[in-house]
Chain A
Amino acid sequence: MFAILLAAVLAQAPVAPVEPGPPPDAGVPEAAPPVPLSALPPATHELFKRIEGRVAQVRIIERRSGTRSSIGSAFFVSAAGHAVTNYHVVSDVVIHPEDYSAELVLRGTSEPVPVRLIDVDVVHDLAVIQMGTPVTDFFALEDREPPQGARLFAMGNPRDLGTTIVEGTYNGLIQDALYERLHFSGAINPGMSGGPTLTGEGRVVGVNVATMGNQVGFLVPVRYARELLARALQAKETDAQALLATVRTQLLDNQQRLTERLLEAPPPKHSLGSYHVPGRWSPFLKCWGDTPHDPEVPYTVTNYQCSSEEDIYVSSNHRTGVVAFLHQHATSQKLGALRFSALYSALFAQDPDAVEATRQDVTNYRCKSEFVDVGGLPVRAALCLRAYRKFPGLYDVVLRAATLNAGTSGVDTSLTLAGFTADNGRRIARRYLEALSWTK
């Protein structure tokens, strides 16, 4: 999974029209023939100077200690003092408004300015905050996609070291992603979250959001920031309850979209031993498999797992919006039925990793376990639910099932759905179970 950057500041140049001719450049004196701008090394220091005032550091203040508990970056997008940052930078203010507040530290000043949280887009990890005073210098957000390979500049405040500009290249949308992200090949580091990534002309392409290390960075496409800003500009007074309700609505809409995507077609049947199991159901699922080969053990267990490998950040300890499943096919020529059932019970007793959440976020699981007839195939199945405490109507759903048709072979399977309604969870679980069959 991606590491999320908890502080990023990036400044960008004003949206200047693409000037023909070579940009002023110290390093290339003989640049005479006109070449496309994106192919030329831009003057990074000029870009930086032009835009540094539009980027600020966000500080999340814990009220009781009176000091910052985390930092991030933001950039101004309206004359009225609206700024865009990541949802995960300000999530504490959304979830625990009584304990946290946000403030901005503008470049060149040391006095923080209190800000209000106007609107959020939890699914795309964006938030709009607003400063009380108007600003003169800000980015106009427009949606134009740069060509792959274009040189981009990420700005931010990595690890609170001061405003930094980082060069990298644009690599388009991540393929088969569940939540749209741009791939930026450049060093994005913790502390740069919420900062902008720009073209050489200073046009915002995306919002720094996460990194996988080794120059693999992720951006939220600027389109979502624009849509959120348009909503925020119309927003009236918002209170903490309304923001939580917004988050809940967005999570509900997102799980509905996911459910519809999954239920468009039944899952493809993937063959595993003498069984058919649900395969790569939707392109956003990444599937992996392996059979550990140990000549010493008298059985084989083959794993096949698919996961969205992405999640939605709700709060520092709570993730949602996950679809994942795992099949384990166990078979043995050497074990008798009773000894095989000991192995099979041990597999059935191992649950997949739970989606991260704490006592404040979710309840404990409650399960219902029965023998189920899946198209003639007897299965021991259990469905477990836990409710979200802050977002009524949303649940984590886990389906566990093990086939019971043969003495010395079987498939144990688990499906994890994080942040779905119970009805959608059941609908997906039914399709999933129905994709289980025995081929002999």
Chain B
Amino acid sequence: MDEVIFLEVLEGDSVQARHRLERFPASVGRGYSNDVILDDPKVSAEHLRIERREDGALVLRDVGSHNGTFRVEPWAPLAELELAPDTRVAVGDTVLRFRSRNHRVEDTVVGPAPSAPRTRVFERPRTFSLALLALLGGSLLEGYLTNYGRTDWGELTVALVAPLALVLLWAGGWSVASRIARKQFHYRAHAAIGALVLLCGLVMPMLLTLVGFSLGVGGGMPLVHHAAFLGLLGWGLYWHLRYVTRWEPGRLMRVLAAVTLGFGAVSRADELLGNESFSESLDFPRTLLPPAFRLAGARPVDDFLEDTAGLQEEVDALAKEE
């Protein structure tokens, strides 16, 4: 083995600490007299020693440790071991690996040309505050407009507090994930994304309902709502995950497209399979808005009744199904 070797303290597959050993004998243990100190309670104060033998080979020797020293592959207790590159040895709960100076490392990963780090719109402090304000305002307005009874202050308070609490908790969850995976919380970015998703979730159905009413769309709006919801879900997850994983945007997008489409298909599986349970409900759009919102023209009564001829065929076909 080469003159200089490295002792690596492993944690799983990754290296927790790396010590350069230049002089021999080198001692390893928990005590402060050692060359390499291991903070492992199961390691003895004087645990092992690495010496150069007369023939020049490096030898690891247990110096009477309490819990012993073990070779990892194959697993065996040892008193003395000749060190070879990549030898792994277990002491207490710690695994040590020895490497020589000429250990070959893998080729450098060729990355895209680095560019100056760009502050995304979510990371700007103003984005978060504007999104949150818009969300709270929208929620309050929605609570006011959809309540046709007496003003219910309790309900309006909930309309304010609920989205606020939801955004903060939601961002908390994601930022913990970011911290674990990328060592940084990105709390404000996650909160801004969460607020924008909720805002869209509030505004989008209103807009779709408005469009559906204005144009007099007779059916099919539930499908559009579903598609819009899936799109929003995919968008939100994409940006949250950009702050959690290090995946390439392309890969992330492919994965999320598969996930959201799969989720969408599963949640509509009944319909896609053509299973319709018996129901006495009437399925047609119920939204009524002030007359000024109506863009589609009104048809004469005769035309409307003529249009219903198709219904008869539809239900006749249903009656024959069973």
Number of B positions contacting A (CB below 8 A): 47
Cβ of B305 and Cβ of A429 under 8 Å apart?
Answer: yes
Task: State how many residues of chain A have any CB contact under 8 Å with chain B.
Answer: 63
Judging by beta carbons under 8 Å apart, are B218 and A366 in contact? Answer: no
What residues of A have a CB within 8 angstroms of the CB of B248 in the complex? Answer: none
Q: Does the CB pair A369–B285 fall under 8 Å?
A: yes
Given known pairs A363-B318, A426-B308, the reply for A373 and B288 (CB within 8 Å) is no
Chain B neighbourhood of A426, CB < 8 A? 305, 308
Q: Report the bound CA distance from A406 to B322 in whole Å.
A: 46
Partner of B301, one of A298, A299, A387, A433: A433
* Alpha-carbon distance between A395 and B309 when the two chains are bound, in angstroms: 13
Complex formed: what's the CA distance from A365 to B278 in Å? 9
| CB-contacts of B287-316 with A (<8 A) | 287-292, 294, 296-302, 304-305, 307-308, 310-312, 314-316
User: Which residues from chain B sit less than 8 Å from chain A, CB to CB?
Assistant: 144-150, 216, 218-219, 276, 278-292, 294, 296-302, 304-305, 307-308, 310-312, 314-316, 318-319, 322
* Chain B residues within an 8 Å CB radius of A346: 148
**Residues of chain A in range 332-367 having any CB-CB distance to chain B below 8 Å:** 332, 335, 337-346, 348-349, 351, 354, 357-359, 363-367
Contacts of B278 in A (CB 8 A): 358-359, 364
- Which residues of chain B come closer than 8 Å to A382, judged between CB atoms? 282, 284
- Known: A342-B146, A342-B147, A384-B284. Is A370-B301 also a contact (CB below 8 A)? no
Q: For A71, what are the chain B residues with a Cβ–Cβ distance below 8 Å? A: none
Cα distance, A392 to B318, chains bound together (Å): 12
16 contacts between A and B (CB under 8 A): A335-B148, A339-B145, A342-B145, A345-B287, A346-B148, A351-B281, A358-B278, A364-B279, A364-B315, A365-B283, A367-B311, A368-B311, A371-B216, A371-B299, A373-B299, A433-B301
Which residue, of B144, B287, B311, has the highest number of chain A Cβ atoms within 10 A? B311
Q: Which residues of A contact B301 (CB under 8 A)?
A: 372-374, 430, 433-434
Bound form: Cα–Cα A382–B280 in Å: 15
**Which one of B144, B216, B218, B298 has the greatest number of beta carbons of chain A within 10 Å?**
B298
Chain B min CB distance to A160 (Å): 33
With A and B bound together, what is the CA distance between A135 and B28 in angstroms?
116
Contact B145 A372 (CB under 8 A): no
In the complex, the answer to whether B284 meets A369 with C-beta atoms within 8 Å is: yes
Interface of A is mostly: mixed
The distance in angstroms between the C-alpha atoms of A286 and B283, with both chains bound, is 29
Q: When the two chains form their complex, are residues B315 and A351 in contact, meaning their CB atoms are under 8 A apart?
A: no
Contact A395 B298 (CB under 8 A): no
Q: Which residue of B lies closest to A383 (CB)?
A: B308
A405 and B291 in contact, given A296-B150, A368-B308 (Cβ under 8 angstroms): yes
CB distance from A416 to the nearest CB of B (A): 11
Give bound CA distance, A368 to B316, whole Å.
15
Q: Determine if B280 and A365 form an interchain contact, defined as CB atoms under 8 angstroms apart.
A: yes
B207 to chain A, nearest CB (A): 14
Q: Is A14 an interface residue (CB 8 A)?
A: no
Establish whether residues B218 and A297, one from each chain, have CB atoms under 8 Å apart when the complex forms. Answer: no
Q: Select which of B145, B146, B319 is within 8 A of A392 by beta carbon.
A: B319
Is A364's CB under 8 angstroms from B148's CB?
Answer: no
Interface string of A122-151 (1 = CB under 8 A from B): 000000000000000000000000000000
A181 to chain B, nearest CB (A): 28
Contact check, B290 vs A407: say whether CB atoms are below 8 A apart.
yes
Given contacts A339-B148, A372-B299, A389-B319, contact A380 B308 (CB under 8 A): no
> Nearest residue in B to A406 (C-beta to C-beta)?
B291
Task: Say yes or no for A94: interface residue by CB 8 A criterion.
Answer: no
Residue of A nearest to B283 (CB): A367
Write out the residue numbers on chain B whose beta carbons fall within 8 Å of the beta carbon of A384: 282, 284, 311
Query: Judging by beta carbons under 8 Å apart, are B148 and A342 in contact?
Result: yes
Cβ–Cβ < 8 Å partners of A434 in chain B: 301
A387–B305 alpha-carbon span in the complex (Å): 17
Q: Besides A345-B288, A364-B276, 7 other CB < 8 A contacts? A: A298-B148, A335-B148, A339-B147, A341-B290, A365-B282, A365-B315, A387-B318
* Cross-interface CB contact of B315 among A373, A387, A405, cutoff 8 Å: A387
Contact B299 A378, beta carbon cutoff 8 Å:
no
B308 and A385 contact, CB distance less than 8 A: yes
Residues of A within 8 Å of B310, CB to CB, are: 368
Contact partner of B145 (CB less than 8 A), chosen from A338, A373, A381, A402, is A338
Docked CA distance A338–B206 (Å): 12
A341-B288, A382-B284, A404-B294 known; A366-B315 Cβ under 8 A: yes
In this complex, what residue of B is CB-closest to A392?
B319
Q: Report the separation of the CA atoms of residues A389 and B322 in the bound assembly, to the nearest whole angstrom.
A: 9
Min distance, Cβ A421 to any Cβ of chain B, angstroms: 9
Instruction: Flag whether A50 is at the interface (Cβ < 8 A).
Output: no
Residues of A within 8 A of B294 (CB): 371, 378, 404
Contact A363 B218 (CB under 8 A): no
Closest to B300 in A: A373
Bound state CA distance, A382 and B218, in angstroms?
9
With beta carbons under 8 angstroms apart, the residue of A299, A383, A388, A433 that contacts B319 is A388
